[in-house]
Amino acid sequence: MTGHLRRAAGVLVRSVAIFVPVFLVASFVTFALRSLSGLSPANLQLGESATPEAVARIEHQWGLDRPFLTQYLDWFGDLLAGDLGQSWYNGAEISRLLAEGAVISLSVAGLALLIGVVFGFGFGVLAALRRTTWVDRAITGGMTVISVMPSFVVGIALVAVFAVGLGWFPSAGYAPTERGFGVWLAHITLPALALSFDTVSDVARQLRAGLVAAYRENYVTGAIVRGLSPRRVFFRHVLRNGIGPALAVLGLKFPNLLGGAVVTEAIFGMPGFGQFAAGSAQRGDVPAVQGVLVVSIVLVVVFNLVVNVVLARVAPASARGV
């Protein structure tokens, strides 16, 4: 047991060691955006007729006339404490604004991930087990078709067919869980479905390829020769060794889910994270945009950490390459 724990801890530590510099660099770039953009809260609060004195006063109020590194370290320190600063637009706490939006976006992304995993694995396994038959070809073909559909195209089609046409699902908006679990699920199903297509097709394809390759390995032949049942062979040998690439691709998909949220939230009228990012960016509300970017980075990093640990546990061979 301790061997497992120690290996898991080792993976965790190694992953953290990689992702800490990732976080640092990404947060630095995010922060540098303000200087690059040349925007300041004066734009938002004073408009173009701002006199140089008024601008200087406002910038001093926000602490923007201090040297770059001082501002960065200050901001970074606040970040670590969970304070993302205040919006230039309405002075509200960005952490609070983001938390609201994040709940919505993460519900959708979470469900999309679940759908992606369930259906992706389902189709991948099915295609691998029935490889080279018509089932396999149909699934592979289907996955190819799905993979080229951008999430907003899928979203529009889903709304037209299932919400407006058949009336099975609501077409817009978000209902918090307090209004009932069923209602909440009904609202996030269509956007989650739209987001998940990309994940389903990639996971299915990678899993199929991984499983088919694993089936060709010697130890599988050996197991079959030894008389193990096909089910045992599959679960104990093929799946454990073939799952690596699929899990790895899952880690890569999460940024896509967050990115796709920007468009699906526009289509489905959900006041999430993506909408907040787009709106703040259009308004030139730099701290809000920085907050969004930092949170997405953290989410992606954490998600990748989890995937890495699972990967190490389930398929130790792939972990050795980290």
Partner 1 sequence: MRGKRWAAAAVALTLGLAGCAGDGARASGESTLRWAVTLPAHWDPVVSGSGAQFRILSLAYASLTEIDENGRAVPALAESWDYNDKGDQVTFHLRPGLTFTDGEPLNAAAVKAYLERAKTQKNSALFGDLTSIESVTARGELDVVVDLTQVDYQIPLLLGERVAQITSPKAARDPAALDRSPVGAGPFVVTENVPGSHVYLKKNPDYWDAANIHIDRVELLPAPDNATVVSGLKTGVYDFANLTPSQVKAAEAAGLDVVFQPGFNASNISVNVNKEPFTNPAVVDAVRHATNRQEFVDKITFGYGKPTDQPFPPEYVAYDKESADRYPFDPEKAKRLLAEAGYAPGQIKLDLVIAGPAYATAAEIVQSQLAAVGIDVTIKVDPNWEKPFFGKELTLSLYGTTGRESPVQTLTAHFGPNGPLNLSSPYQPDGFEEAVSLARRTPLDSPDYATNLQAATRAGLASRALVFTYSQPNIFVKSPRVSDLKPIPGQIHWTGLRVEP
Partner 2 sequence: MVRRVLGLTSGRIAIGILVTVGLLAAVGPLIAPHDPLAGTTDILASPSSRHPLGTDYLGRDVLSRLLDGSRVSVLGAVQVALIALVVGVVPGILSVYLGRAFEWATLRLADTLIALPFLVFAVAVTALLGNGIPQAMFVVGVMVSPLFYRVARAATLSVARSPYVEAAVVAGASVGWVVRRHVWVKVLPPIAVALANTTGVGFVVVASLTFLGIGVRPPAPTWGGVLAADLGYLSFRPWAPLAPTVLIMATVWACNLLADAIRDVTGEAGRALLDARRVRAGREA
Q: Contact residues for partner 2 (CB under 8 A)? A: 18-19, 21-22, 25-26, 33, 36-37, 39, 144-145, 147-150, 152-153, 156, 160, 252, 255-260, 262-263, 266-267, 274, 277-278, 281-282, 284, 286, 289, 292-293, 296-297, 300-301, 304
**CA torsion, ordered 300, 306, 309, 314, to nearest 10 deg:** -110
Contacted entry of partner 2, partner 1, none for residue 219, CB cut-off 5 to 8 Å set by kind? none
Judged by the rule CB under 8 A, the positions of this chain that interact with partner 1 are 43-44, 46-49, 90-92, 96-97, 100-101, 115, 118-119, 121-126, 129, 159, 163-164, 167-173, 175, 179-183, 185-187, 189, 266-269, 271, 276, 279, 282-284
Pick 188 or 297: Cβ nearer partner 2: 297
To the nearest whole angstrom, how small is the minimum distance from the Cβ of residue 272 to partner 2? 11
* CB-based contact 123:143 (threshold 8 Å): yes
To the nearest whole angstrom, how small is the minimum distance from the Cβ of residue 227 to partner 2? 32
Contacted entry of partner 2, partner 1, none for residue 116, CB cut-off 5 to 8 Å set by kind? none
Pick 73 or 302: Cβ nearer partner 2: 302
Pick 92 or 160: Cβ nearer partner 2: 160
- CA distance linking residue 172 with residue 104, whole number of Å: 13
- CA distance linking residue 225 with residue 28, whole number of Å: 57
Contacted entry of partner 2, partner 1, none for residue 292, CB cut-off 5 to 8 Å set by kind? partner 2
- CA distance linking residue 66 with residue 59, whole number of Å: 9
To the nearest whole angstrom, how small is the minimum distance from the Cβ of residue 262 to partner 2? 5
To the nearest whole angstrom, how small is the minimum distance from the Cβ of residue 289 to partner 1? 13
Pick 211 or 258: Cβ nearer partner 2: 258
